[in-house]
């Protein structure tokens, strides 16, 4: 199983749009994409468009939280956009909806 994604760049804002399941089997793709974006230092804002994500497990949550922390260390914001109902429910259960859905730098 593989995770497909789209990348869009608009000035200092980079949007990653994964499509499908984000799970233990596919999370390495997302991890590498986000790591590459953060490490490049090109993005002031990193958005992850979640509208096409059909499943999110704890490994995916871990990657998203780690990417947010890494982005914050470089002074960039990291925000999830357009979460599906399932993704929103998972974030709410994990008490991360107020963290990952905000457009503020991590502290």
Give pLDDT tens digits for 95-107.
Answer: 999 889 865 444 4
Beta carbons of 19 and 47 less than 8 angstroms apart? no
Would you give the DSSP letter of residue 94?
A: T
H or E, element range at 22 = strand 13-22
Residue ranges of the domains in the chain?
A: 4-100
For residue range 4-59, list pLDDT tens digits in order. Answer: 999 999 999 999 999 999 999 999 999 999 999 999 999 999 999 999 999 999 99
Angle of CA points 96, 21, 92, to nearest 5°: 20
4-100 belongs to which CATH class?
alpha beta
Angle of CA points 2, 43, 20, to nearest 5°: 20
């Amino acid at each position: 199983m593989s995770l497909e994604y789209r990348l869009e760049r608009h000035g200092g804002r980079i949007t990653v749009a994964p499509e499908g399941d984000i799970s233990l089997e596919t999370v390495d793709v997302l991890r590498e994409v986000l790591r590459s974006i953060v490490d490049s230092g090109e993005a002031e804002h990193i958005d992850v468009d979640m509208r096409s994500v059909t499943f999110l497990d704890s490994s995916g949550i871990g990657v998203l939280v780690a990417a947010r922390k890494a982005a914050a260390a470089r002074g960039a914001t990291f925000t999830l956009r357009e979460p599906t109902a399932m993704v929103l429910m998972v974030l709410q259960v994990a008490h991360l909806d107020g963290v990952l859905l905000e457009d503020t730098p991590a502290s």
